[in-house]
Chains A and B, each alone.
Chain A
């Protein structure tokens, strides 16, 4: 070897493969304003569509008159439900097995519901036209409280379902009832409660909020009447699903529909569903023959597409005096709004809420969820969440604190006592899941040691005493959250969307010169797939990540996949990528054996090529092998070096983490300041630590916002309050706490690279940590549970109710 020969370390580093903090490829264009988002798209002759919306939450529509609007120069059409009926699109099916109006068909069910679609030459004229479309409403009684949905005299929200006693998930008990979903062993659980030393019961509500990515939902639809082909560019987290749905609804053959998701300005679950705007733009382009753009404004986004949470959870725990938990009982009242447009895998009306046993070894558990209609916007999306896992984690983490309080135990000790033990994995939960791997005790201990947990408790006690003596008006809370997530939907045995199994896919093509193009069924909305997918491939096939181009979002070129949400990209598509890469490596091994004139069994993989065992000088790099694949493949072998993989995961993955929040609260104003927030995540194998840390920062910031004030509120008339960025709490850099991150690594045993997914963990685990900190602070004054969100006035109110204002 001469001095110029790179060392193994240098060759390894040159790959920028898994485990390194590779800088992002995407940033080159994003930092120069060269991202291509939907609203950046301009097509020749493109026109603009916009909605007339309902000011009422519940009303009959008696008349829609567009005469004046159509007189405005530049107004092309005004579509109503009557027009959509002509193409059988006045209603559309939802992912949850319900149907939803595209445009109001005789009545409206929530404020700002879509009533008519104005098409005009530009957005200014469309907005002018909206002013003068005349709609006559006849108001109906409004139902906003889900606890009153099933009152005998509650107004009938859905006359279209009259007489329908069977819903998509079993019998309906009431005209505003959607489904009941039950899991677990009711009798065993009842027995555990009857034998318990100690029980707790609490109504724990998780308020309605919204994912609110900075880019709203939008699309451009373009029908080529000559070829009969429809192209739709849109903010789609799941472009292939959108194409299938569009084909089923429009009866345009799937191969004649081109769905393209360009750069997406954040999704967080908001961009999974199919919304009336997409359907109307498609109908409008079919009608007019010119491209139609639809762009939501922020108020529309916050008030219509598409809320998250709104779960009211009554949790009960049975335990022994020593703190050992013996049973869990949860009932959920789920507020779904006017239509059940919940974005869950089709068989799961409450998502994976049955992960509610959390990180604890409950021998018995029972869960029942009732979904109901109200006069609120539809949705129920997984806001940085794997299908109702955020709600479940909040429920159990809050309930464990309440149990600790009742037992007089430290909440960290109670958790330690009840964790599923490392030797119990794979662990069968009482509500039906098989946890793949975990080491909860190690993670918890590391977190407590790093933070100095016992010292903080001592400080808290001293502060409480000082408060009682009247020496300070500040109190302190320590919030603990030890969450277990369930992500990676999912195995075809459990999961489908409208019948399509929730696999994912990757295609990798190695070019003759040794560079690569690779395409996946997923779609990044900021997660950095172009960077990290290339890292997996780089490690697997020894070609530098810099030579690998990753492309997603074009249904014409990418293999079919179910998209990016619910932290499924790494667990599912990440596995498909590794397996496609291994197919390439296997073929490369045969080619290398031919080139080196040895048996393929005499070769071993070494970073970026194959070498002869015992004779590392005899080697072929992947670059050389790629050329040979096209130039002189072994006799009888197909030329080329490409592979496709469709991956149906054998199980979900179960990331977990230990989060601690230390908070100081000004009792007089209710203002809470986060002093420290420590987040330890175990997401299995780490592909790019820089990106993981970024995901955790972002998810924690969302969790902070949700726990401390981010809420979609309604008044009794069904007016949606605060649907702008003044009132909807998105923290700025000033309010956002400083984040400390840490990790342990417990690989998934069933995933090809051992990765578990991380994007949603910080939102799932963060909210209970913040809420538990607030609750923990007030415990010494006799409080057991304070509902979220914890904005200043509600904290002040809680303090007042506890007599803390003297």
Chain B
């Protein structure tokens, strides 16, 4: 085993500047969870399929299990811990997931909400198909997605100031 020097990384996470020394091979998900104690992003597969580790890096949805922490040097990150409103109340998306029963075990939820957050920034008024395509990098084993779609529609309506019309069953 060679002795590899630790390297400095700094980034802004949920509005707070952080600086650490890490081994270059440290994956961003482990950096967030182990170094910063941000345990909201989860590890579900390690092969960049499940999306439970999704966070926002410089405005992009990224699977943090397939990015080295050093690659995020200097970046702005948002994790689920940074999603609530400033006054501590649930954001539109968080509320939507609760109101529409868009989660069960909760394990995929942080990644799902972060992905939906970026999706709604880019597509404020998505169709059902756009939502389904938009969250297709996030696996959920519990809900069958139908209520996740509704949760995102609920949030979109709330953010757009329109009425949420639940689709007829």
Contact = CB atoms under 8 A, between A and B. Distances in A.
Determine if chain A interacts with chain B: yes
**Residue from the set B94, B141, B169 with the largest chain A CB neighbour count within 10 Å:** B141
A32 B23 contact: no
Interface string A255-267: 0000000011110
Interface in B1-53: 1, 23, 25-26, 30, 33-34, 37-47, 49-50, 52
Interface string A272-294: 00000000000000000000000
B162 to A, nearest CB: 22
B148 interface: yes
Contacts of A404: none
Tell me what chain B mostly uses at the interface: helix, strand, loop, or mixed.
loop
B120 interface: no
Contacts of A700: 144
Contacts of B33: 39-40
A730 B139 contact: yes
A214 interface: yes
Given A24-B98, A702-B141, A32 B40 contact: yes
Interface stretch (A426-434, A440-448, A731-739): A731-739
A266 B131 contact: no
Given A30-B109, A264-B105, A732-B139, A297 B46 contact: yes
Nearest to B106: A30
Nearest to A123: B30
A525 B113 CA distance: 20
A698 B40 CA distance: 22
Nearest to A71: B1
Contacts of A739: 144, 146
A31 B97 contact: yes
Contacts of B109: 30-31
Contacts of A740: 169
A296 to B, nearest CB: 10
A28 B98 contact: yes
B83 interface: yes
B142 A698 contact: yes
A694 B104 contact: yes
Contacts of B103: 27, 30-31
Nearest to B135: A733
B98 A698 contact: no
A83 interface: no
Given A701-B145, A725-B45, A33 B105 contact: no
Contacts of A215: 42, 44, 105, 107
B142 A526 contact: yes
B146 A738 contact: yes
A124 interface: yes
A106 interface: no
Contacts of B60: none
Q: How large is the interface on B (under 10, 10 to 19, 20 to 34, 35 or more residues)?
A: 35 or more
Interface in A189-236: 212-216
Contacts of A698: 104, 141-144
Given A528-B104, A701-B144, A733 B97 contact: no
A23 B120 CA distance: 24
Contacts of A15: none
B92 to A, nearest CB: 11
Interface string A54-86: 000000000000000000110000000000000
A230 B34 CA distance: 24
Contacts of A214: 42, 44, 50, 52, 105, 107-108, 139-141
A462 interface: no
B58 interface: no
B158 interface: no
A19 to B, nearest CB: 16
B143 A694 contact: yes
A725 B139 contact: yes
Given A214-B44, A725-B139, A697 B52 contact: no
Interface of A: 23-24, 26-35, 37, 39-40, 42, 72-73, 122-124, 128, 212-216, 263-266, 268, 297-298, 525-528, 690-691, 693-695, 697-698, 700-702, 724-726, 730, 732-734, 736, 738-741
Given A730-B49, A732-B137, 18 more contacts: A23-B101, A32-B84, A33-B39, A33-B41, A33-B79, A39-B42, A214-B44, A214-B108, A216-B44, A526-B142, A693-B101, A694-B143, A726-B47, A732-B135, A733-B136, A733-B145, A736-B145, A741-B169
> Shortest 9 CB-CB distances between A and B: which pairs?
A33-B40, A526-B105, A30-B106, A265-B107, A33-B80, A697-B144, A725-B49, A701-B144, A526-B104
12 contacts: A23-B101, A27-B98, A72-B1, A214-B105, A214-B139, A298-B47, A527-B104, A694-B147, A724-B49, A725-B139, A739-B146, A741-B169
